[in-house]
Amino acid sequence: MRHTVKVLSYLLISSIFTSIVFAGDSVKKKLLSEKEQMELEESAIAPEIEPVNSISVRAVSKSYNGFQGTIVTPKIKQYPDGPEGVVLELLDNWDEIPPEDVAKAQEKLTMLLNSMPYEELKNVFYYNSNPQVESALYQSWLTTQRSGQNGRSVSRTAGTEAEPNGGMSSANAVSTDTTSGYLTAYDEDWYSVAVGTAGDWVFETHSTSSGNGNVGDTKLYLYAANSATSHIEYNDDGGTGSYSKIAHRFEDSTPPTSDLFFSEYAEGTSNNKYLEIYNGTGATISLDDYAYPSVTNAPTTAGQYEYWNTFDAGATVASGDVYVISHGSASAGILAEADEHHTYLSNGDDGYALVKGTEESFVVLDVIGQNITESNYADPGSGWAVAGVSNATKDHTLIRKGSVLSGNTNWTASAGTNTADSEWEVTDKPTATYTSSTLGSHTITATNLYYIKVTGSSGTYAGTYLLTVGETAFNTNNGTLVINEINYNPATTTDSTEFIELYNAGTAAVNLSGWNVLGIMPSDYLLPSGASIAAGGYYVIARDSASYVNLYGSGADVYWGYLSSVYSGWPDYT
26 CA to centre of own chain? 117
Q: How do strand 188-195 and strand 172-173 relate by DSSP bridges?
A: parallel
420 CA to centre of own chain? 30
Q: Which of 36-40, 104-108, 169-173, 198-202 has the highest mean pLDDT?
A: 104-108
pLDDT at 80 over 60: yes
Same fold, 261-427 and 481-573: yes
> What is residue 84's three-state secondary structure?
helix
> What tens digit of pLDDT does each residue of 368-386 get?
999 888 888 888 999 999 9
Burial of 33 (0-12, 13-18, 19+ CB in 10 A): exposed
- 168-255+448-473 belongs to CATH 2.60.120.380: yes
pLDDT at 12 over 60: no
Q: How do strand 558-559 and strand 516-518 relate by DSSP bridges?
A: unpaired
Task: Give the mean model confidence (pLDDT) for residues 459-485.
Answer: 71
Cα–Cα dist 120/86, whole Å:
12
pLDDT at 215 over 50: yes
Return the CATH number of the domain spanning residue range 481-573: 2.60.40
Q: What pLDDT is attached to residue 444?
A: 83
Residue 405 has phi, psi (to 5 degrees) of: -115, 0
Q: How do strand 340-341 and strand 322-326 relate by DSSP bridges?
A: parallel
Q: Which CATH number fits domain 261-427: 2.40.70, 3.30.1460, 1.10.287, 2.60.40?
A: 2.60.40
Higher pLDDT, 198 or 124: 124
Question: Comparing C-alpha atoms, which of 212, 189, 435 is closest to residue 324?
Answer: 435
Helix and strand totals (H; E) in the chain: 8, 32
Higher pLDDT, 434 or 189: 434
C-beta neighbour count of 56 within 10 angstroms: 4
Contact 260, 312 (CB under 8 A): no
- What average pLDDT does the chain have? 79
16-25, 152-161, 480-489: least confidently modelled range: 152-161
Question: Please, which residues bridge with residue 250 across strands?
Answer: 199
Cα–Cα dist 320/338, whole Å:
16
Neighbour-count burial for 287-313, b at 16+ CB within 10 Å, e otherwise: beebbbbbbeeebeeeeebeeebebee
Contact 256, 270 (CB under 8 A): no
Q: Which of 34-38, 217-221, 273-277 has the highest mean pLDDT?
A: 273-277
Task: Give the mean model confidence (pLDDT) for residues 126-150.
Answer: 65
> What contacts 457, CB < 8 A, 6 or more positions away?
217, 218, 219, 236, 237, 239
Question: Please, which residues bridge with residue 504 across strands?
Answer: 481
Higher pLDDT, 15 or 221: 221
C-beta neighbour count of 245 within 10 angstroms: 15
Q: What pLDDT is attached to residue 566?
A: 46
Question: Comparing C-alpha atoms, which of 116, 94, 89 is closest to residue 105?
Answer: 94
Whether the link from the prior residue into 164 is cis, omega within 30° of 0, is yes
HSE of 102 in the Cβ direction (CA atoms, 13 Å)? 6
pLDDT at 146 over 50: no
312 CA to centre of own chain? 37
Cα–Cα dist 339/279, whole Å:
14
> What tens digit of pLDDT does each residue of 257-291 get?
889 999 999 999 999 999 999 998 878 999 999 99
Q: What does the domain layout of the chain look like in residue ranges?
A: 83-154, 168-255+448-473, 261-427, 481-573
pTM check: above 0.85: no
Going along 299-361, which residue ranges are E strands? 316-317, 322-326, 340-341, 351-357
Contact 205, 241 (CB under 8 A): no
> What tens digit of pLDDT does each residue of 410-464 get?
999 999 999 999 999 999 999 999 999 999 999 887 667 889 998 887 655 677 8
> What is residue 308's three-state secondary structure?
coil
67-71, 150-154, 397-401: least confidently modelled range: 150-154
Residue 57 has phi, psi (to 5 degrees) of: -115, 130
| Residue type at 60 in one-letter notation | V
> What tens digit of pLDDT does each residue of 540-564 get?
888 888 888 888 888 888 887 766 5
Contact 524, 514 (CB under 8 A): no
Going along 196-281, which residue ranges are E strands? 199-206, 218-224, 233-236, 245-250, 261-267, 273-278
| Residue type at 488 in one-letter notation | Y
